[in-house]
Structure 1
Amino acid sequence: MKTFKNPILPGFYPDPSICRVEDDYYMVTSTFEYFPGVPIFHSKDLVNWRQLGHVLDRPSQLNLDGTPCSKGIYAATIRYNDGIFYMITTFVVSKTGARKNFYVTATDPAGPWSEPNWLDDAPGIDSSLFFDEDGKVYFTANRVPPEGQQYPKHMEIYLQELDLQEKQLVGSKYSLWDGALKQIHAQEAPHLYKIDGYYYLIIAEGGTGFTHSVTIARSESITGPYEVCKTNPILTHRHLGRNYPITNVGHADIVETQDGEWWMVCLGTRPYGGDYRNIGRETFLVPFTWENGWPVVNPGKGIVEIEMVRPSLPEQRWQTQQACDHFDSEKLDDRWNFIRTPRENFWSLTERTGFLRLKTKAETIIEETNPSFIGRRQQHINFAVRTEMHFSPTEEGESAGLVLLQSTDYQYRLEYTKVSGDTVVCLTKRVEGIDNVEAIYKTNANVLFFKVEAFGQSYSFYYAEKPEQWEIVKENVDGTILSSDVAGGFVGTYIGMYTSSSGKESSNFVDFDYFEYVGLSN
């Protein structure tokens, strides 16, 4: 039997949602404070995925100004009905917990997608849509139970009809279910389905950490009452211990193939070097069958595995993504992201042919702003990154280089900068919002090469003035600060190119000739 390897989307791609349109499959994931928002993927076989672009790719669709780390765009849901794709999601505005739900539409999943339709009086997170057989459309999300919380983080799933003409919720709100696992907390991520005469409600319980799980209930009426599956949770890894290679499994969506097979996508993490998850929450694929009207996930095992038997669908591979971006295009590749919404063109692929130019902005990467940063996800436990950088710091505080970013308060920066009149290569480790200089070397070059190599939680930094003539900046530094288990929050590590003038206005810029990222074997 042919097999596939999990995760199907490696790296920080959490909260997957999936839909099928004839022989094509589409999937979206969360993006939090990163822009563009909500990557959308396409597959023919559920295993091989290619990115079509982003759903929220215009500033008019996504205003992330001032959005704190790990806030912004939470779990997205993708659905298709009558020729139209729908993506609905929650925008978590601030640290105080303000939440706004909205949806956008498109006739082509590659875009363009519409401007947001904001829903009034729609509390909660992890919004989803369900299109019923009678033509009615329903919105689901979680909320504090109207009678109050019986224990910390006690939530319930509720339902309300959505009027697509008015683009607003109408009628009464119905309490559907507050979960199967009382006291486990954080009932969220609802998805409704109509299968063989029953309405099935799949949710996540236990939070997005080690106790994460998937539970299910059903009803003959969409408004309930909902019968709880006696074998809940239908999927979790919390009983496997923290040393199992896949943990934190939950937040699922399901799809039936044209061959009649049923598959579930869910998030999970791959801890390494201890209970640390630098890569973030990733997307996994697992089969299930139906027994007596209830799902049985991965029969005989009940867990997500690294290697599993493939779907019966014909294999469809896409062209592999280049490991090295030489910046020869006039458009940024879809793998690249900004932090928060860019409000000016501080980057260019045309001002110097074959280079990515970043303009040296006053904003820094230690502030909740939009710095001059372009980055991509860490997708491997072991990896190497290298780049060629053309830059001359002319004023104190001007810097450019590579950043390994978990948040504004947890990061590594390998920079070429000016300190006390000297130009230096400097490695800075930022923990709990405090910068610590790990190494500093005087140099005087207009062209520098930077390299980062990581094996597990051991990260090493190098620089060169000529290609491949590497000098050690510092080796075997602690990578665990790049895990949300240390830093908090919900995102994975980003690696990117950066420049700043540290609060001062500057006309300087940096040119990157290439950026190479490769996964390494053990």
Structure 2
Amino acid sequence: MPTVRSLGWSSMTVFANPVLPGMYPDPSVCRVGDTFYLANSSFEYFPGLPLHSSTDLVTWTPLGHAIDRTGQAGLLDLAGVPDSGGLYAPTLRHHDGLFFLACTVVGGAADASFFLTTTDPAGPWSDPVFLEGARGIDPTVFFHEGRVWWAGCRLVEPGAYPGQTEIWLRELDPVAGRLFGQEHILWNGAVAGAVWAEGPHLFAHDGWIYLLAAEGGTERNHAVSVARSRSVTGPYVGNPGNPILSHRQLGATASVQNVGHADLVEAGDGSWWALALGVRSRAGGHVLGRETFLAPVAWESGWPVVNPGAGRLGERGSTPFTSADAPTPAELHDTFPVGPLAAHWLGVRGPVPGAHTSAAELHLEPPAPPAPDPAGSTSAPRPATRTPAAFLGYRLRHPDVRAGLRLVLPYPGVTAGLALRQSENFGLRIELAHAPAGWTATAIARADGADTVLGSVPLDPVAPGSLLDLTAELSAAGVAFTVTVAGETRVVAVTDAALLTTERAGGFVGTVVGPFVSGEPGHPVTVTGFDYVPTASATP
């Protein structure tokens, strides 16, 4: 557990939103003593369900991931999920010395809700406990007056309109790992006709039970609404002032959009706070994904008011708490020290086979082609890829940044490079490949599953064992790819970043950047360093 300090109003911490930049969507928060704990969605990436701690709600220290073992990933069938499938919208709670994490895996052999437990959020976490009858997504767990309740969101069948959902509730036996008792339908959301009332969270405050929900879909019309009841099982009545948080009314030019999916937490001094997702938009799109933002909450006439006097997320603010933790550096210079691969590296749908460090180097080996499914197999189809590739991704956390890697010239039968991955079907990359005419550095755009060459630079003569630098620089002007050999830097291509935006590619994730290799198995590529440097400022 991290060291904690007493909360008080004698000092404060100033923050700039987002407080957790990069692809950290669907925040869920709880407090134990003076320490706050945060969990986020991870979708198809592994390790999954990242966890952070903080003593000031601003400085978030990584603790690791709840899903970090191959056995857990296998039980969840992450290998079978599509892009933007996988681990959706967790809820993190603490009760009687035990942390509970409720979640859903979407898009595998079957959608399934589950929970994990631990005494230490830094892990290890238990294997997933699946709940029969827990249909839908975005589950939450609520401890109240000696009973444990499980709520989730699912489509109404048949619905009054497409996308109509209902939030349902049953009692949970956490020891036996089963739901029991009568099912209760709690709410359909605040606005008739609004889609996807989802992401429910339950709170007890001042004799009321409050139900917080996202609404409107996780895009421009996203919002946060709230209802309350004197009983956990309802009936729930919506706040006349709903939605209590949204940026949809600000229009297409707002710098922060898609705001919703909030969780509330009470601090030790009695103040309340909201953590919500939002996106930073530039030129009509966002490439970083949905990020975690912070806002104060006041109670007025029995209802929560987010950021009183403003009603929307502020660019800056302060909390009346001091931090016991050092802020995460804006820059990363990874020289791959010997030992386990750092937790900031993400694989797609599971750990990357053959990725290991040795003598301060990363060795990344092209994977073998996947075996065909047996004839007559009824298992869920595996996601298609352009070619089998090993890839490690680091979350983009800044809109203006330079990311680069240094690698040893690969074996002629291997292609290696630096990729900006949005999904299997959308992304940008620069790669080294050998053809009859010699080595080239080529920049490639992938859109709708098809590759287009943006530019190519011949590299020969280049000697075996040479070190090369591949760099991608993201800015308002787009993405510039360069290659450096023997101290000479050459521009390979400059393109816009539209293919990296959710608005173009779809889905729910942000962009990750890192090394990839493909080609003949048995010929690992050596990467000697990866650098991530914000180019506009060191703040989000």
Shorter-chain TM-score above 0.5? yes
Contact 2:353 2:367 (C-alpha < 8 Å) held by counterparts: no
Q: 1:251 aligns with which of 228, 245, 261?
A: 261
Look up the match of 2:35: 24
Contact 1:363 1:500 (C-alpha < 8 Å) held by counterparts: no
Contact 1:11 1:282 (C-alpha < 8 Å) held by counterparts: yes
2:365 is the counterpart of 1:359? yes
Q: Secondary structure at the match of 2:20?
A: coil
Residue type at the aligned position of 1:294: W
Shift of 1:511: 0.7
Q: Secondary structure at the match of 1:470?
A: strand
Look up the match of 1:512: 527
Contact 1:288 1:297 (C-alpha < 8 Å) held by counterparts: yes
CA distance in structure 2 between the partners assigned to 1:416 and 1:402 by the alignment = 9
2:156 is the counterpart of 1:145? yes
- Tell me, which stretches of 5 or more residues in structure 2 are unaligned? 1-11, 371-382
Contact 2:166 2:185 (C-alpha < 8 Å) held by counterparts: yes
Contact 2:404 2:418 (C-alpha < 8 Å) held by counterparts: no
Residue type at the aligned position of 1:262: W
Look up the match of 1:470: 489
Residue type at the aligned position of 1:252: A
2:73 is the counterpart of 1:67? no
Residue type at the aligned position of 1:361: P
- Tell me, which stretches of 5 or more residues in structure 1 are unaligned? none
The 1:108/1:29 distance shift into structure 2, 3 A limit, reads same
Shift of 1:368: 8.3
Residue type at the aligned position of 2:116: V
Q: 1:118 aligns with which of 118, 122, 130?
A: 130
Look up the match of 1:412: 428
The 1:234/1:293 distance shift into structure 2, 3 A limit, reads same
Shift of 1:316: 3.4
CA distance in structure 1 between the partners assigned to 2:187 and 2:170 by the alignment = 14
Deviations 1:452-500 (A, max 9, x none): 1111251101001124x3111112x011110110011010001010000
Look up the match of 1:312: 320
Q: Secondary structure at the match of 1:327?
A: coil
Contact 1:65 1:369 (C-alpha < 8 Å) held by counterparts: no
2:146 is the counterpart of 1:166? no
Look up the match of 1:107: 119
Residue type at the aligned position of 1:124: G
CA distance in structure 2 between the partners assigned to 1:457 and 1:218 by the alignment = 47
Shift of 1:80: 0.3
Q: Secondary structure at the match of 1:176?
A: strand
2:302 is the counterpart of 1:293? yes
Q: Secondary structure at the match of 1:75?
A: strand
Q: 1:242 aligns with which of 247, 252, 266?
A: 252
Write out aligned runs for 1:45-64 (5 A): 45-62=56-73, 63-64=77-78
Shift of 1:438: 1.1
The 1:520/1:330 distance shift into structure 2, 3 A limit, reads same
2:461 is the counterpart of 1:461? no
Residue type at the aligned position of 1:472: V
Percent of pairs identical after alignment? 39
Contact 2:59 2:327 (C-alpha < 8 Å) held by counterparts: no
Look up the match of 1:204: 214
The 1:376/1:99 distance shift into structure 2, 3 A limit, reads same
Shift of 1:380: 0.8
Q: 1:268 aligns with which of 269, 273, 278?
A: 278
Shift of 1:509: 1.2
Contact 2:341 2:356 (C-alpha < 8 Å) held by counterparts: no
Look up the match of 1:192: 202
Q: Secondary structure at the match of 2:89?
A: coil
Contact 2:60 2:328 (C-alpha < 8 Å) held by counterparts: no
Look up the match of 2:142: 130
Q: 1:33 aligns with which of 14, 29, 44?
A: 44
Q: 1:437 aligns with which of 440, 449, 453?
A: 453
Shift of 1:422: 2.4
Look up the match of 1:346: 354
CA distance in structure 2 between the partners assigned to 1:261 and 1:440 by the alignment = 57
CA distance in structure 1 between the partners assigned to 2:196 and 2:144 by the alignment = 27
Q: Secondary structure at the match of 2:393?
A: strand
CA distance in structure 1 between the partners assigned to 2:395 and 2:221 by the alignment = 25
Residue type at the aligned position of 2:167: I
CA distance in structure 2 between the partners assigned to 1:109 and 1:313 by the alignment = 22
Per mean C-alpha deviation after superposition, the further-off stretch among 11-20 and 410-419 is: 410-419
CA distance in structure 1 between the partners assigned to 2:90 and 2:439 by the alignment = 45
RMSD: 1.8
CA distance in structure 2 between the partners assigned to 1:184 and 1:358 by the alignment = 46
TM-score by length of 2: 0.91
Residue type at the aligned position of 1:125: I
Q: Secondary structure at the match of 1:428?
A: strand
Residue type at the aligned position of 1:371: A
Residue type at the aligned position of 2:431: E
Per mean C-alpha deviation after superposition, the further-off stretch among 204-213 and 383-392 is: 383-392
Contact 1:246 1:305 (C-alpha < 8 Å) held by counterparts: no
Count of residue pairs the alignment pairs up: 506
CA distance in structure 2 between the partners assigned to 1:425 and 1:43 by the alignment = 43
CA distance in structure 1 between the partners assigned to 2:408 and 2:151 by the alignment = 51
Shift of 1:419: 2.5
Residue type at the aligned position of 2:222: H
Q: Secondary structure at the match of 1:3?
A: strand
